[in-house]
Amino acid sequence: MSSDCKFLDQAPRFLFFTGKGGVGKTSIACASAVKLADAGRRVLLVSTDPASNVGQVFGIAIGNQITAIPAVSGLAALEIDPQAAAQAYRDRIVGPVRGVLPDSIVKGIEEQLSGACTTEIAAFDEFTALLTDSALTAGYDQIVFDTAPTGHTIRLLQLPGAWSGFLEQGKGDASCLGPLAGLEKQRSQYKAAVDALADPQRSRLILVARAQPSTLREVARTHEELDAIGLTQQYLAINGILPESATAQDPLANAIYQREQHALADMPAALNSLPMDRIALKPFNLVGLTALRQLLSNAAPLAMPDSEVMPALPAANLSTLVDEIAADGHGLVMLMGKGGVGKTTLAAGLAVELARRGLPVHLTTSDPAANLTDTLNGALPDLTVSKIDPHAETERYRQHVLSTKGAKLDEQGRALLEEDLRSPCTEEIAVFQAFSRIIREAGKKFVVMDTAPTGHTLLLLDATGAYHREVARQMGDSKTHFTTPMMQLQDPRQTKVLIVTLAETTPVLEAAHLQDDLRRAGIQPWAWVINNSVAATTVHSALLRQRAANELAEIAEVADRHAQRYALVPLLREEPTGVERLLALAGGQTPSPLVPTEHKGEG
């Protein structure tokens, strides 16, 4: 099949779309499925995204059963619900021991299965059959997956299967191997599924990114990670590129165009070898067949009516949040969110504004792609900067566990412990321990953290009680005062968590899921920050004005449903790098809300 997109040329049976939240993988997966069906193929579209909106895109209810898309001959869809799959998986493991083992042990098993690893494994469990059971998908020429299994999931499944007794005997450390304890029976099926993923005659992975340095760095890491475990048939789709035709007489649009072109020219070398497609930014929401059929076409986009006058948005700007944070004099400020939403820049902006006010600040990150030195491009007297190296911290943690717990094990037990420590979650725990050392400083100064531990990490560390309860047990009945890192994170007087998102459907849904994870770990987010908002600035380009109008529903969703307080940060003409621009970002020097020139004074 010939297509405007390389990734659809001579497509194998299985197509997997992967990428961070908000890059548009669901829209591209849906558009690809429609294009294949329109060409006469029988296509099954499968979503394993917890924030799936495939049904919303097509305007019908889909759910966890194969459902025909009436308006597209030959197309059917299925939405696997990872949360429901995870619950069924937990019930299958815990059910047989409930009432047999003491309640405290059963509760511990449930807690160990409450993290994100269980959800990942359960979702993979659900669609394994689609990869390996030919009878189940015999009626389809091609299967299109929205959200591929991550390298994290596949590395878990490639670890040996002798953990059940090892974990039960307490030889393993806090890791994400708990979810795998009941999987030995399915291991041959999982191996067949991973083999299918790695077979270029059967499978193709499409890495979806945006033309942003941080997103391109992340997708380069994903490419290298998947390539290293044998998934070599990869294509790159860079989505949402502002066309040059949309930049006329609009300084902001022109600046964005130039910025994106520089990002593409300077993309990581690892990506240059991949077949690449560039997909233009569209002015319309990608809902409905007409829009989907336009997405992958190089033809001129649909004409859109000029957007109406934009209302003044009631959100605070970032400086309002800084005022509240600064009033405490010290404390921990954690910025959380998915990749590509601008956490590093916002963390740096908060830190320099607090330091400008004469407050002592330690700014730190564990993001391998973050370059705080480049972002700051300068110094302030009250600001110190550090970067946690995840690889170094992981190796330090591994050596500590092997020299303590491993010293007491026989050769077989030590070998299994080493396998446990190769689990992807080991890095999360090691990084958290490094964070814990820095957290102690927040009693005397501000500590601003970029790429804070995920809700998943926090559940691993606290829901299983590995650290927190051990400290409590060692203290016994003594009246000695103690504070664990988790206690500090759970105390709103000591810690403020800011969730960063974009005013787009998937990033808001993913941020809401992160908030749920944090709340399960006993942490209440303090505020949300909606970054890079077109609706919070002034644009003249018809394309961008329509995009601004599309943001309003997502901003309202955050304001009305999710956030106790929130701030809106406008899309800026220049990248906020360097102390001066960061101070402008965090100090309230933001453009006024969008009011088109020809309508000033209305609304």
Nearest to 370 by CA among 432, 450, 259: 450
- Which residue in 214, 506, 537, 590 is the catalytic one? 506
Q: Which of 19, 21, 25, 222 is catalytic?
A: 25
Q: Is 319 among the residues known to form the active site?
A: no
Tokens standing for residue 462: 């606290």
* Tokens representing residue 93 in the block: 């493991």
Cα–Cα dist 82/22, whole Å: 19
Burial (CB count <10 Å: 0-12, 13-18, 19+), residue 497: buried
The answer to whether residue 195 is catalytic is no
How is the beta sheet containing 331-336 ordered, strand by strand? 383-387, 361-365, 446-450, 331-336, 495-502, 527-533, 566-570
Angle at Cα 18 formed by Cα 15 and Cα 19, nearest 5°? 155
What distance in Å separates the CA atoms of residue 440 and residue 431, rounded to the nearest whole number? 15
Closest CA to 562 of 523, 527, 532: 527
> Which one-letter DSSP state was computed for residue 459?
I
Helix axes 579-586, 343-356, angle to 10 degrees: 90
Angle value at C-alpha 13, between 10 and 16, nearest 5 degrees: 95
Does residue 27 have an active-site annotation? yes
Which of 19, 20, 21, 22 does the annotation list as catalytic? 22
Judge contact between 232 and 44, C-beta under 8 A.
Answer: no
Which two structure tokens, joined as six digits, stand for 546? 């329509």
Cβ atoms 107, 172 nearer than 8 A? no
Say how far apart CA 357 and CA 588 lie, in whole Å: 14
- The structure tokens listed for 418 are 């080493």
* Known catalytic membership, residue 506: yes
DSSP state of 316: B
CA distance 259 to 271: 19
Question: Is 20 among the residues known to form the active site?
Answer: no
CB atoms within 10 A of CB 475: 12
Active site residue 49: yes
67: tokens are 């459902």
Task: Report the DSSP pairing between strands 75-79 and 67-68.
Answer: antiparallel
Listed in sequence order, the DSSP H helices in 405-541 are: 411-420, 425-439, 455-458, 468-475, 485-490, 505-520
**Is there a catalytic annotation at residue 22?**
yes
The residue among 91, 85, 96 whose CA lies nearest residue 124 is: 85
Task: Tell me the three state secondary structure of residue 549.
Answer: helix
Catalytic residue among 18, 26, 147, 484: 26
Choice among 19, 20, 27, 47 that is catalytic: 27
- Amino acid code (one letter) for 450: D
Give the Cα separation of 180 and 422 in Å (integer).
14
Q: Which amino acid is at 102?
A: P
Q: CA–CA separation, 175 vs 464, rounded Å?
A: 10
Residue of 18, 19, 21, 49 marked active site: 49
Catalytic residue among 21, 24, 178, 339: 24
Can you read off the two tokens belonging to residue 282? 């569209």
Distance CA 88, CA 85 (A): 5
Distance CA 50, CA 510 (A): 8
Q: Which residue numbers are catalytic?
A: 22, 24-27, 49, 506
